[in-house]
């Protein structure tokens, strides 16, 4: 209720500070890490054409895997940090972790958002944070997808690091039998990459579209942190 009032008040203003600097930095670091992970991951699964000459003169797969693991650790540390920030940061920092699914408004707004995307209503509502549809997609596809990639990635990493490694003990040892065998872990790790790619496609498309068509700033918000509104009318009218 209080939240709603605050939102209502905010919608009257033209600018609100939404994304704190750590979130913004994280967002872009994370975006680049994921792109690196997808590219290298894809080529781990389907390597480039062979190079000729002495094996000792090349390290193509080695570098591919090195970049993957380096990006993976950046991604993991970022994710852990972002989760920490969800606790200490402002209310917007929690949105995608704990979607307000117990609030009726959330579902009403979600319905409205669906209608907006189906061209059934002429105007979206105003949101200081993410719109509910975005929250749901981010929570289900991004948050859980990332958790899965981290766990399964570490489990795969533990296989190479060996049974004595912490990665093996904490991840490989239970995840592999749970999923069947090592090959299944690879398969699902690979499959969920596509889930993240699909999320990214939708996400970027929607970001650009909303930037143009919604009633607030979008892309620049993730750069400056400030949400600017394009009109002074209340959210609902």
Partner 1 sequence: METFYDVMRRQGITRRSFLKYCSLTAAALGLGPSFAPKIAHAMETKERIPVLWLHGLECTCCSESFIRSAHPLAKDVVLSMLSLDYDDTIMAAAGHEAEAIIEEIVTKYKGKYLLAVEGNPPLNEDGMYCIIGGKPFTDQLTYASQHAKAIISWGSCASWGCVQAARPNPTRATPVHKVPGIGNKPIIKVPGCPPIAEVMTAVVTYILTFERFPELDRQGRPKMFYSQRIHDKCYRRPHFDAGQFVEKWDDEGAKKGYCLYKMGCKGPTTYNACSTVRWNGGLSFPIQAGHGCIGCSEDGFWDKGGFYDRLTDIHQFGIEANADEIGVGAATVVGAAAAAHAAVSAVKQARTKGDND
Residue ranges binding ligand HEM (CB under 6 A)? 23, 27, 30-31, 34, 37-38, 41-42, 44-45, 65, 68-69, 72, 75-76, 95-96, 130, 134, 138, 142, 149-150, 153-154, 156-157, 186, 189-190, 193, 196, 199-200, 203-204, 207, 218-219, 221-222
Q: Quick check: 166 binds partner 1 (CB under 8 A)? A: no
Contact criterion met (CB below 8 Å) for 180 and 125: no
Which window, 8-16, 27-35, 51-59, 143-151, contacts partner 1 (CB under 8 A)?
Answer: 51-59
Secondary structure of 80-138 in the HEC alphabet?
A: HHHHHHHHHCCHHHHCCCCCCCCCHHHHHHHHHHHHHHCCCCCCCCCCCCCCHHHHHHH
Q: Which helix (H) or strand (E) holds 207?
A: helix 182-213
Contact criterion met (CB below 8 Å) for 130 and 229: no
Among residues 52, 102, 120, 237, the one that binds partner 1 under rule CB under 8 A: 52
Query: Can you spell out the DSSP letters for 210-227?
Result: HHHHSSB--HHHHHHSEE
Q: Quick check: 104 binds partner 1 (CB under 8 A)? A: no
Which window, 49-57, 80-88, 90-98, 124-132, contacts partner 1 (CB under 8 A)?
Answer: 49-57
Q: How far apart are CA 16 and CA 230, in angstroms?
A: 12
Q: Where does this chain bind partner 1 (CB under 8 A)? A: 42, 45-52, 55-62, 64, 117, 119, 122, 159-160, 162-163, 173-174, 177, 180-184, 186-188, 190-191, 193-194, 197-198, 201-202, 205, 209, 212-213
């Amino acid at each position: 209720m209080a939240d709603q009032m605050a939102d209502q008040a905010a919608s009257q203003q033209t600018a609100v500070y939404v994304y704190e600097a750590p979130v913004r930095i994280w967002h872009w670091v994370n975006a680049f890490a994921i792109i690196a992970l997808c590219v290298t991951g894809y080529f781990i699964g389907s390597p480039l054409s062979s190079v000729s000459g002495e094996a000792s003169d090349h390290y193509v797969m080695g570098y591919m895997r090195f970049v993957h693991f380096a990006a993976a650790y950046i991604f993991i540390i970022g994710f852990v940090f972002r989760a920490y920030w969800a606790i200490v940061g402002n209310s917007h920092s929690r949105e995608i972790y704990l979607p307000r699914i117990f609030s009726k408004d959330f579902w009403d707004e979600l319905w409205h958002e669906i209608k907006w995307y189906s061209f059934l209503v002429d105007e979206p509502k105003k949101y200081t944070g993410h719109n509910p549809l975005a929250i749901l997609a981010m929570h289900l596809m991004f948050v859980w997808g990332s958790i899965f990639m981290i766990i399964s990635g570490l489990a795969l990493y533990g296989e190479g690091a060996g049974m004595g490694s912490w990665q093996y003990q904490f991840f490989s040892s239970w995840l592999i039998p749970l999923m069947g065998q090592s090959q299944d872990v690879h398969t699902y790790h690979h499959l969920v990459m596509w889930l993240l790619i699909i999320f990214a496609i939708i996400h970027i498309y929607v970001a650009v579209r909303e930037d143009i068509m919604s009633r607030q700033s979008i892309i620049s918000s993730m750069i400056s942190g400030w949400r600017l509104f394009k009109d002074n009318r209340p959210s609902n009218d």
